[in-house]
Amino acid sequence: MELTIILLFILTALVFEFINGFHDTANSIATVVATKVLSPNQAILLAAGTNLIGALAGEAVAKTISSGLIDAGVLTVTSEILMCALAGGIAWNLLTWWLGLPSSSSHAMIGGLCGAALGAADTNWSVLIWSQPADPWFKGSGLLYKVVIPMISSPIIGFFLGLLIMGLLFFFIAWMGRRSGLLGRLSRPRWVNAFFGKAQLASAAYMGFAHGLNDAQKTMGLIALAIVGANSVGQLDDLPVFLEFMRPDGDGIDTWIKVTCALVMAAGTAVGGWRIIKTLGHKMVKLHPVHGFAAETASATILSGAALLGMPVSTTHSISTAIMGVGFAKSSRALKWGVIERILWAWVLTLPVTGVMGYLLVRGLKAVGVL
């Protein structure tokens, strides 16, 4: 029975990863579709391939999720607790996907995890690792350094980095336009669109890689957390031979977890997410290839840097605010503030709503004697 529960949790986690694939990957390919550089199907195939490569390229974010947020000395996190955490995240992801709102799968997962752990620990707040400072500060661990600070800073950096890159490109194109001969001709819209149409293939691939490097690792971390917890209480003592690969091997994230999550996210990506693509790529601001290149480059740089530091930041936040920054570089009137307001509300609500859902699910199961 215990092994069945563990396998059921892994299946639930992979469902979350699949949904993440078509929910958050829509964010990563929205600009390349909106600028008509690639068709939706072409963009999805590009994102699926680069997501897969990115997901296999590191494990710092996975380690943060598996050991940096919940204090194992206070609570042994079981598969049942983690299923409650994911249930809230999945419900929120599906709701925001249906509404076409680019909310954060990362924060949905983290909110659900913290809420479920808090419920399992009978509202003992010490179960959450809040802050473990280090020098330099960005090497600190816990919710403050790995979640809260990046949650606030990454959208701000995304906006200003998008604004900066777009401003520099505008300046360079304008400088070329003041020159005679070949440089002057290359500054014309036809040539600019043609050049950045090709360049955006590279920036879209970079964005897909960065998304896999950061987002896919979050589910890897949850599965590793469940496996380690199950092993510590002896639930893996009698594994059948054909499942022996599940037994934890050292302190890293086991290879089978990496490969499975990477493949499932890539499969989810292949399903696509047209609703969110329309919101990001068409409703916020009108984009041309040069704008898409700037937004993708800014967002992918943030995601990659955060992944190297083990920070599970939101693809949604970084690409959305990068698009806002690019749009603002064109004109503040180019932004559609009504759409942006809806997106911001989804961001604000994600952590508390999923946290409450995870908490209530665990408390409900405890009340009926399941936990």
Closest Cα to residue 85, out of 6, 7, 12?
A: 12
Q: Which amino acid is at 155?
A: P
CB atoms within 10 A of CB 36: 14
Residue spans of alpha helices (H) in the chain: 2-34, 40-55, 60-67, 79-98, 105-120, 143, 149-177, 182-186, 189-232, 255-271, 274-278, 289-308, 315-330, 337-367
Q: Which one of 107-111, 178-182, 228-232 scores highest in mean pLDDT?
A: 107-111
pLDDT attached to residue 121: 94
Percent of the chain surpassing pLDDT 90? 21
pLDDT attached to residue 122: 93
Is residue 70 helix, strand or coil? Answer: strand
Whether the CB-CB separation of 291 and 31 falls below 8 Å is answered with yes
pLDDT attached to residue 252: 74
Least confident window among 15-24, 72-81, 324-333, 355-364: 15-24
pLDDT attached to residue 358: 94
Least confident window among 22-26, 170-174, 263-267, 337-341: 22-26
- Residue 234: what are its φ and ψ, rounded to 5°? 80, 10
255-264: b or e for each residue (b if 16 or more CB lie within 10 Å)? Answer: eebbebbbbb
Closest Cα to residue 273, out of 10, 61, 47, 1?
A: 47
Bridge partners of 141, per DSSP, are 132
pLDDT attached to residue 339: 66
Read off the pLDDT band of 36 (50, 70, 90): confident
How high does pLDDT run on average in the chain?
Answer: 84
Q: Which residue has the higher pLDDT, 68 or 271?
A: 68
- Nearest-angstrom CA–CA distance, 371 and 359: 13
Closest Cα to residue 299, out of 287, 285, 312, 316?
A: 316
pLDDT attached to residue 361: 94
* pLDDT of residue 204 exceeding 60: yes
* pLDDT of residue 274 exceeding 80: no
Q: Which residue has the higher pLDDT, 323 or 332?
A: 323
Q: Which two tokens stand for residue 76?
A: 């042994």
Q: Is the pTM of this model over 0.85?
A: no
Closest Cα to residue 156, out of 318, 306, 315, 334?
A: 318
CB atoms within 10 A of CB 165: 23
CA angle, 315 then 320 then 321, to 5°:
105
pLDDT attached to residue 164: 95
Mean pLDDT over 208-220 rounds to: 85
* pLDDT of residue 158 exceeding 70: yes
pLDDT attached to residue 225: 86
Is residue 141 helix, strand or coil? Answer: strand
> 87-97: per-residue pLDDT in tens?
888 888 788 87
Question: What does DSSP assign to residue 247?
Answer: S
- Nearest-angstrom CA–CA distance, 228 and 67: 10
